[in-house]
Amino acid sequence: MFQQRYFQKKYEPRVRKNEQIHAPKVRVIDNSGENLGILDIKEALEKAKEAGLDLIEITAKADPPVVRIMEYGKYLYQQGKKDKAGKKKQTTGETKGVRIGMTTFSHDLEVKAKMVDKFFKKGYKVKVELVMHGREKALGKIADKKIEEFLLTLKEKYKMEQEPKKYPRGLYFIISPQ
């Protein structure tokens, strides 16, 4: 019996460079950022070789595609830095959680509010859950009063990201620093 082999897909680089660029005409930008206009691919490759650099495809979907004469390693380094900066901005949207109950007294609400204020200072959004048991779920007006009481104890200014919504355990809402 023969063992079935799985063929891997051919590795295609994320960015085309030099001879990998298939377009007949391209818009060329040199190393200093100056636009050299629309050239034949052969002319563009010659200019890149004269400068001792690579021809890198920046935007393939444009008509004609935009290429840049620069060092390939430098280009990858710059792209990596851009990706890291984008990821840093995404992580700031992390959400912390705080739970309060219908029977939580005012002092405990103040302690929870201090926690929320600390989260706000660190730049986090906060998901506040009002946990309700049994018949408490039918007491909507009292739940609204409890939420209002909690929000009044907050010292930091906040913005309501998501209005209170019901979920199986009670209500929740999301607030963020202003």
CA distance 163 to 99: 16
Which pLDDT value is given to residue 107? 94
**Which domains are delineated in the chain?**
18-89 (3.10.20.80), 95-177 (3.30.110.10)
pLDDT tens digits along 106-121 = 999 999 999 999 999 9
Supply the pTM of this predicted model: 0.51
Which pLDDT value is given to residue 20? 87
Using 70 as the pLDDT threshold, list the residues of the chain that sit under it.
1-2, 4-13, 90-93
Beta strands in the chain (DSSP E): 25-29, 35-40, 54-59, 66-70, 95-101, 125-131, 158-167, 170-177
Mean per-residue pLDDT of the chain? 87
* 96 C-beta neighbours (distance < 10 Å), count: 15
Residue with structure tokens 């890198």? 56
Residue with structure tokens 């295609």? 12
Which pLDDT value is given to residue 11? 61
Which pLDDT value is given to residue 163? 92
Which pLDDT value is given to residue 87? 79
What is the rounded radius of gyration, in angstroms, for the C-alpha atoms of the chain? 29
Which pLDDT value is given to residue 32? 87
